[in-house]
Amino acid sequence: MPQLRPIRSILPSRSTGLTDVDSVAGGEATHCAAETASSKPKVVQHPNGKVVQSAVYRDGKRIATTSTLSEAFGGVLDSASMAWIGMYRPNESQLYAAAEQFDLHELAVEDAIVAHQRPKLERYGETLFVVLRAARYCDETERVEFGELHIFCGRNFVLTVRHSESPDLSAVRRRMESNPDLLSLGTEAVLYAILDAVVDGYAPVVSGLQTDIDEIETEVFSGAPGVSRRIYELTREVIEFQRATRPLLGMLKGLSAGFDKYNTDDELQRYLRDVTDHATVAVERADNFRQLLGNILKVNATLVSQEQNEEIRNLTHASIEQNEEIKKVSAYAAILFAPTLIGTIYGMNFDHMPELHWDFGYPFALSLMAVTCSTLFTVFKRRNWL
């Protein structure tokens, strides 16, 4: 067998977008799900399903371009050929038509119809059923957008069913067709190439999430308002990313376990291990992001609590100072009240009042006022009211 290394050179690079639709014309790139529906590529509908691209290959070369499922099925009646069919958002009847042509298991077809499945790998006889969730980061909305892909991989056919614009399978097809040696290895090579494209698409998501976390850390320590909400929303994005990536490790481990049983080519085994390495990195980074966001949320709560405590401390200090002033005013008011009370009583000028005609009445009243004021002043001073 000819040397096929390096395999990754013919596969979608990490910078490749995950928005292309595998259209008959080769696919048109979209930039964000927020774009209008008019910007989405047109999908050509066929009687047997929404087939966006279908071709038959032999020895790694395209020998026929088909327009219906029946034509694709007819092209693989001989064991040396392989059909690669891409369907986009087919309805129930169209998927059942595909199931009839390629003898797909009804449970797998039901999952493909319902969609919204978790990533998984199941084997039905000679057919592998794989569910993948592609992801891409949208800078405009700072959100991770997910696409769902269902793959039926048989002995001589690969049927992909997409319920969103991503991932970019047209790029995978072009790169596979540019390397007939790899494509000639059969349906497993196509499956692994699709896995590689999906996993490579996680790298920009990881980078985007890392940038958001860095910005959030700056906002937390600068006291920016609304940062708690942003932390919460980003945590939700990370959790969804974990749900898309974590099951991949078990799926890839399951594929590795079947190497010997299904006589998987040595080159494809190396290729799968490389995909596993990149998937492991994405899963570990997602786990780290979630833990880091949890720590950031705790730090933010601590900083907010400290700020609130500082405000309460300032208010308490102001209240204490105000109370001190009130005590001083109250003390002086009490001191001044004593002579006023005495003067008021002795100023009523009734005829029958004690000491009213006493020669020492006036000095006595003044002395009484002075003693009372001095006593009150001494008491308040000892109690630190003055």
In sequence order, which residues have a C-beta less than 8 Å from that of residue 326 and are 6 or more positions away? Answer: none
In sequence order, which residues have a C-beta less than 8 Å from that of residue 83 and are 6 or more positions away? Answer: 54, 55, 56, 57, 66, 72, 73, 75, 76, 156, 157, 158
Residue 129 corresponds to which tokens in the numbers above? 């059923």
Q: What pLDDT, on a 0 to 100 scale, did the predictor assign at position 352?
A: 64
Residue 385 corresponds to which tokens in the numbers above? 């009211």
**339-342 contact pairs (CB < 8 A, 24+):** 339/369, 339/372, 339/373, 342/368, 342/369, 342/372
Task: For residues 252 and 136, give the distance between their C-alpha atoms in angstroms, rounded to a whole number.
Answer: 21
CA–CA distance from 260 to each of 137, 188, 255, 269 (Å)? 37, 14, 10, 10
SS3 for 62-78 is EEEECCCHHHHHHHCCC
Strand (E) or helix (H) holding 152: strand 143-153
Residue 302 corresponds to which tokens in the numbers above? 């601590």
Question: For 18-198, CATH number?
Answer: 3.30.460.20
Architecture of domain 319-382: Up-down Bundle (1.20)
Domain spans of the chain? Answer: 18-198, 319-382
pLDDT tens by residue, 75-94: 777 778 899 999 988 888 88
CA 230 to chain centre: 11
SS3 for 362-376 is HHHHHHHHHHHHHHH
Residue numbers of the chain with a pLDDT score lower than 50 = 1-31, 33-49
pLDDT tens by residue, 152-164: 999 899 999 988 8
